[in-house]
Amino acid sequence: MALRNESLKVGRTAAFAIIFGITLALSLSAYGQEEKLVRKIDVEGLRRVSETELRTQIRSALNQPYGPEQVTSDIRRIYALGYFTDVAAVVEDYEDGLRIIFRVEEKPLLLRISFKGNRRIKDGELLNIIPLKQGAFFDYANIEEAVQKITEVYKEKGFLFAQVEEETKETPEGTELTLKITEGPRPRLVRIRFSGNAAFTDRELKPLLLSKPWRLIVSPGIYDEETVAADILRVRNYYRDRGWLDAEVSSELEFSRNKKRIYLTLIIAEGMRYTIAEINLMGNRAIPGADIRGQMRLSPDEPFSAIRLRRDLEAVRGLYGRQGYMLAEVNIETSYAPDNKVIITYNIIENQPIYVERIEIRGNRQTKQQVIRRELTFYPGERFNVDELLQSRQRLINTFYFSEVDFSYEPGSLPNTRNVIVEVEETETGFFMLGGGVSSDLGVSGHLTYVQRNFDIRDYPESLRELLPGRSFVGGGQTLRIEVAPGTEYSSYSIYFREPWLADKPIGLSTNLYLYAQALESYDEERLGAVIALDSRTREDLTLAVSLRVEEVDITNLAFDAPASVVKAMGTSSIISVTFSADRDKRDNPWLPSKGHRVRGALEVAGGDFTFGKLIVDGRYYKTLKESEEETRRHIVSLGGRLGVAAGDVPVFERFFAGGARSIRGFEYRGAGPQVRGYPVGGDLLLLGNAEYSFPVRQETIRGHLFLDAGGVWSDIGDFDPGEIRAAAGFGLRLYISRVSPIPIALDFAVPIMSEPGDNEQIFSFSIGAFF
């Protein structure tokens, strides 16, 4: 290797000397020839290179005065083609002028590249990463780069001791290159420990690391220098963000005797923790200092924290933004004081408050202006409020009418006014879904569904051409869903319509016509009905609703030993009910919530052939335990529960049941609760609880779940017995395919850990659906 490097240096020096010598020789030979004309230009020494290509680099021209500087420049350009080891020029008398002869020596062809000793990486992969190509001109200078790239690839795969040597063979036709690879052992990173950490335990620091020691199946234990360098930076920043501003981190490696195991130690020099000496405000006039300090988490004499300081800065900027000072500049300066203290100074340039002059909507080809404007929470003439702008943008995104929503600003007619430009890019809001599904609860089913999320019942087609999808009945912000779903055990057919702004008021109107049919254990059930509902979003996260249900229920095909409650409901029954409900939803995402909560409550009062009442309250809380920096790999824990209470003459088809994929996994559908002769009869009291831990397996498309389900059903409120609670623990997988079908595939394995005699247990439950 050293010999080759030395030869390369000598070669470069020789090339420079040759060009310099040629330039000098040409200059001397040209003395007294400057007035002569170039009558001929020849090229000698070409074997494979096209003479036409070479001549494109020559600027010396026939019948033009000879210039030695031009010839030298021509030599440089020819050499830069990369095809030659030597380029020279000879000038001689020719006829009444001069003849220039460019003499070249071509580089050898690289006839073949072969590898020896590479068992873990295939030849094709190595050929793709090196700067050498078979059949191309061979440049010895590229060998060093090839060796380096191969070594780097092996290191990335964990072969830290890999070595590469080259061997060349010259033939009359060209050069053959052999790269001999000694892969060496592939050591595993088996242990990571910390040294010098007094402020934080190993358990606190280890989650920061991207490097992971070897664990069977879980982690291959590959050591990577770049990853360790990133870990050092992450640990150092963790300390500095929490007040140890002088903290330094380094690494130390130890190998086992056979070089197959790596022991990594991160050595931490913590230094002293800095505290805050004082927090100063400079430049604030419109907003009192007390109000600004009220936004801060940090205060004097507390430990310094860069994380909390950044949050405080954003909070102060938000305070100014909420009060219309959108042009305010808020910056922080930190300086050091004696005794490991920090002085924080907020430098504020308030500028004048800004008012909204006009709101302009752009990009909406089909969606009506008022559909967009009604989602905005700010109006012309008001002071700018950053929170309202962000809230309005999120409301528009949540409509799912647009693929992009952006707010920008243009100067208004006065210095303290701005026009708000709402730029939207519409997306497809209407679609057909054709598919099928299998469920352990509901059997095999097919689906044919049409959905238009941006429906407009008043947008009639003016021609046959406008009957095409997307050219009519679009843009009004309404929802239309038509579903046909026949199945072996459960079938449903429905037409659903919703107007979210009735008479341009924030009142929603929903109607649903439906037919449901289901084959149950001791009878068949068919429901034909309609629901009409009015709802009002009194706050951004709170919806109040009232609904009217008119339904006809047929109970047929009773088992010969059907329970008395089923016999009582046999035949056709009419149900008319009114339901009052409230829904508080503070989740961050309706499809895959990662934080927030949702609480719902509904009180139903029913009459007709049966008179009864039902109260249902359920809620769920979500919290992200950790996530990747790209926010694409979230670990989420959730807690949920449901309480159902019924009273009066409750028919069997309106009672509560437990068990199944949507209730208590580990038990069959309706298999955990009161029974008569082995048939489920339900109850008037339902109590369910669930704890679940969700983690990414493959980004957010495949997620794993660990869960604990518990609960039960009791015939009457007075029959409640904590000893009869059922419980099951298990794990599952979720495959998220698209926003249209958020959870088409769900697989769960659950083992009952608390059960009662007669319960129908089910270890495996699933729901599989595919849309195309």
Residues 6+ positions from 115 with CB-CB distance below 8 Å:
123, 126, 178, 179, 180, 181
Do 501 and 508 meet the contact criterion of CB atoms below 8 Å apart?
yes
Q: How far apart are CA 296 and CA 220, in angstroms?
A: 44
| Beta carbons within 10 angstroms of residue 75's beta carbon | 23
Residues 6+ positions from 483 with CB-CB distance below 8 Å:
447, 448, 449, 450, 492, 493, 494, 495, 496
Q: Phi/psi zone of residue 254: left (φ > 0), alpha (ψ -120 to 50 degrees), beta?
A: beta
- Domains in the chain, ordered, with CATH? 2-106 (3.10.20.310), 110-182 (3.10.20.310), 188-269 (3.10.20.310), 275-349 (3.10.20.310), 355-426 (3.10.20.310), 574-579+591-599+606-771 (2.40.160.50)
Q: How far apart are CA 714 and CA 658, in angstroms?
A: 10
The rounded percent of the chain whose pLDDT value lies above 70 is 90
pLDDT at 771: 34
Average pLDDT over residues 326-346: 94
pLDDT at 702: 84
Q: What is the pLDDT of residues 664-719, one digit of tens each?
A: 999 988 999 999 999 999 999 999 999 999 988 876 678 899 999 999 999 999 99
pLDDT at 295: 93
Residues 6+ positions from 118 with CB-CB distance below 8 Å:
126, 181, 183
Q: The tokens of 501 are what?
A: 């702004």
Average pLDDT over residues 629-638: 74
The pLDDT of residue 467 is above 70: no
Q: How far apart are CA 253 and CA 192, in angstroms?
A: 10
pLDDT at 92: 92
The pLDDT of residue 23 is above 70: no
| Best CA proximity match to 573, nearest among 591, 545, 554 | 554
pLDDT at 762: 85
The rounded percent of the chain whose pLDDT value lies above 90 is 62
Give Cα 13 to chain centroid, integer Å: 53
Q: How far apart are CA 180 and CA 1, in angstroms?
A: 13
The pLDDT of residue 629 is above 70: no
The pLDDT of residue 15 is above 60: no
The pLDDT of residue 4 is above 50: no
The 3-state DSSP composition of the chain as helix, strand, coil percent (nearest 5) reads: 20, 45, 35
CA atoms within 13 A on the CB side of 662: 9
Q: What is the pLDDT of residues 200-244, one digit of tens each?
A: 999 899 989 999 998 877 788 888 888 999 999 999 999 999 999
DSSP letter for 414, please.
Answer: S
Do 631 and 659 meet the contact criterion of CB atoms below 8 Å apart?
no
- Top pLDDT among 768 and 306 is at 306
- Residues paired with residue 725 on neighbouring β-strands, in sequence order: none
462 φ/ψ angles, rounded to the nearest 5 degrees: -95, -10
Do 646 and 656 meet the contact criterion of CB atoms below 8 Å apart?
yes
Q: How far apart are CA 767 and CA 441, in angstroms?
A: 8
Q: Which of 245-267 are b and which e, b meaning 16 or more Cβ less than 10 Å from the residue's Cβ?
A: bebbbebeeeeeeeeebbbbbbe
Q: Exposed, middle or buried: residue 159 (CB in 10 Å: 0-12, 13-18, 19+)?
A: buried
Look over the chain and give the mean of its residue pLDDT values, rounded to a whole number: 87
| Best CA proximity match to 704, nearest among 637, 631, 639, 753 | 637
Q: How far apart are CA 306 and CA 238, in angstroms?
A: 9
Average pLDDT over residues 504-533: 95
Q: What is the pLDDT of residues 519-567, one digit of tens each?
A: 999 999 999 999 999 999 888 789 999 999 999 999 999 999 999 999 9
Do 416 and 431 meet the contact criterion of CB atoms below 8 Å apart?
no
| Beta carbons within 10 angstroms of residue 489's beta carbon | 16
Q: How far apart are CA 76 and CA 20, in angstroms?
A: 11
Q: Which of 103-120 are b and which e, b meaning 16 or more Cβ less than 10 Å from the residue's Cβ?
A: ebeebbbbeebebeebee
Q: What is the pLDDT of residues 582-628, one digit of tens each?
A: 999 999 877 778 899 999 999 999 999 999 999 999 999 999 987 76
Q: Give the DSSP letter string of 260-281.
A: -EEEEEEEEE--PPPEEEEEEE
The pLDDT of residue 19 is above 60: no
pLDDT at 191: 92
CA atoms within 13 A on the CB side of 214: 15
Range from 188-197, 429-438, 548-557, 729-738 carrying the lowest mean pLDDT? 429-438
Rg, the chain, Cα only: 39
Helix axis angle, 225-241 to 306-322, nearest 10°: 70
Residue entry with tokens 């959870």: 743
- Top pLDDT among 140 and 199 is at 199
pLDDT at 90: 92
pLDDT at 744: 55
Residue 464 pLDDT level (bands cut at 50, 70, 90): low
Residue 660 pLDDT level (bands cut at 50, 70, 90): confident
Q: How far apart are CA 506 and CA 453, in angstroms?
A: 18
Give me the amino acid identity at 239. Y
Q: The tokens of 194 are what?
A: 């910390």
Strands 675-676 vs 679-680: parallel, antiparallel or unpaired: antiparallel
Give me the amino acid identity at 38. V
Average pLDDT over residues 126-153: 86
Q: The tokens of 143 are what?
A: 């060998």
